[in-house]
Amino acid sequence: MAQIHSIAEAEMQHHEKRAQLLDAAEKMVPRLRERIGEAAALQRLPDETIQEMQAAGFFKILQPKRYGGLEMAPKDFFDVQIKLAEGCMSTAWVLGVVAIHNWQLALYPEQAQQDVWGEDDSTLISSSYMPVGKVTPVEGGYQLSGHWQFSSGSKHCKWAFLGGMVPPAKEGEAPDYRTFLVPRSDYDIVDNWDVSGLEGTGSHDIVVDSKFVPEHRTHRALDGFNCNSPGNVENSAPLYHIPFGQIFVRAVCSSSIGALQAAVNEYVKINRERVGLNDGKKVSMDPGAQFAVAKTRATIDECITIMYRNFDIMLEHAANGEVLDIDDRLKMRFDAAQVATRCGDCINELFQFSGAQGIFRDHPLNRAWLDINAGRTHVANNIGKFGRNLGGTMMGLENEDTFL
């Protein structure tokens, strides 16, 4: 009975904490909308936004309890991200990417976690996983150099995850892709984020000029793929035994869902009674507009439902000590890649049926149109690439994707 009571108490505490997080996110939405122009002008998020997300505990949702985190489920985190995107997709994008890094750091050796969180467990990490780093093995670790692009939220972070290939030790062996953990003192940020769409993400370039990275500050992609990383010794919860390739890609597609939800809400509000200037008819009577609204609602529901179903499957496998098979991973990878494209298709239709009013920068749909279409350009949202790979493997071809 004591065990049952303990489980029930833990579930109640989880429910209460989840409600607090979602309430805090809901309350931030109006303030985020007010700061969209400021974020675009700064080419990064305002400091107040980062401070409010820190105070609310959003960055700690997936962080280990051992380092002050909440260690909650992916559902809890992505619900918060989607809600924040209703206010500002750039904010949600930065939260998604940066907070997932707190999850990945839990996979690193304990010493790396101590290096980052030992004195301040609110320390944040940016990233650029492009395998462009020049890596030279040296005693105790690696010498790293390179120029990486698209490091979202980099100006708010004190560390960075940077991708690179460790050369094979023997001829004929495959190179070893790793993520290198680098302190802010060892890299420069190139202030070059001048874009249309997602301006507030501050996804500037990062440059490293021959810096030493100790072995313990590296994470092998193969370990993440096998769901058996060094950090799993201390962080053994099922949350940290799901594939890295499956959780990170959701960080760069799910904010599109929230931005689309806000857009369709505004569209309905604006056009319920609006009369077209050319024909004098209500927009609500336009079959194209009706279908666009219906399609958008269904798309949002489907994207969220499939994402949460997939995480339930992953966590169930992890709890049972099972590794998700490749067929499931390929399908789930394609599921994630579809989100940004499907949301993009919906916002484009809503934009089309807004008439010329939509091209004004202050129109509620204009920002969502820019941001969602910018988000779909991320390599992880390349629906064609991952669809072809899934279809090819179903017909007997070899899998071409390792980030699963």
- pLDDT tens, position by position, 71-83: 999 999 999 999 9
User: What pLDDT shows up at residue 2?
Assistant: 58
Give the span between the Cα atoms of 91 and 96, in whole angstroms.
Answer: 9
Burial class of residue 15, CB neighbours in 10 A (0-12, 13-18, 19+): exposed
Burial class of residue 252, CB neighbours in 10 A (0-12, 13-18, 19+): buried
Give the span between the Cα atoms of 277 and 221, in whole angstroms.
Answer: 57
User: What pLDDT shows up at residue 362?
Assistant: 81
Question: For the chain, which ranges sit under pLDDT 50?
Answer: none
User: What pLDDT shows up at residue 361?
Assistant: 84
Give the span between the Cα atoms of 164 and 158, in whole angstroms.
Answer: 20
DSSP for 179-209, written as a single string? EEEEEGGG-EEE-----SSSGGG--EEEEEE
Q: What tokens does 178 get?
A: 């790793």
Give the span between the Cα atoms of 255 and 275, in whole angstroms.
Answer: 32
**Residue 365 carries which side chain, given as an amino acid letter?**
L
Which helix (DSSP H) or strand (DSSP E) does residue 131 occupy?
strand 125-138
Q: What tokens does 367 get?
A: 């920002």
Which helix (DSSP H) or strand (DSSP E) does residue 181 occupy?
strand 176-183
**Residue 367 carries which side chain, given as an amino acid letter?**
R
Q: What tokens does 219 get?
A: 């994470």
Give the span between the Cα atoms of 318 and 313, in whole angstroms.
Answer: 9
Q: Of 369, 362, 352, which Cα lies nearest the Cα of 34?
A: 362
What SS3 state is found at 130? strand
Pairing between β-strand 141-151 and β-strand 159-166 as defined by DSSP bridges: unpaired
Contact 232, 308 (CB under 8 A): no
Q: Quick one: CA dihedral 44, 49, 55, 57, positive or negative?
A: negative
User: What pLDDT shows up at residue 42?
Assistant: 96
The tens digit of pLDDT for each residue in 90-132 reads 999 999 999 999 999 999 999 999 999 999 999 999 999 999 9
> Phi and psi (nearest 5°) for 60?
-100, 5
Q: Quick one: CA dihedral 275, 280, 282, 286, positive or negative?
A: negative
Give the span between the Cα atoms of 208 and 218, in whole angstroms.
Answer: 15
Domains delineated in the chain = 11-119 (1.10.540.10), 125-219 (2.40.110.10), 244-394 (1.20.140.10)
Say which DSSP state 377 is in.
T
- Other CB atoms within 10 Å distance of the CB of residue 168: 11
In angstroms, what CA-CA distances link 67 with 61, 103, 245, 377?
A: 12, 11, 23, 34
Terminal alpha carbon distance of the chain:
41
In angstroms, what CA-CA distances link 229 with 50, 129, 226, 254?
A: 30, 18, 8, 26
Q: What tokens does 253 get?
A: 């597609």
What residue has token string 């958008």? 296
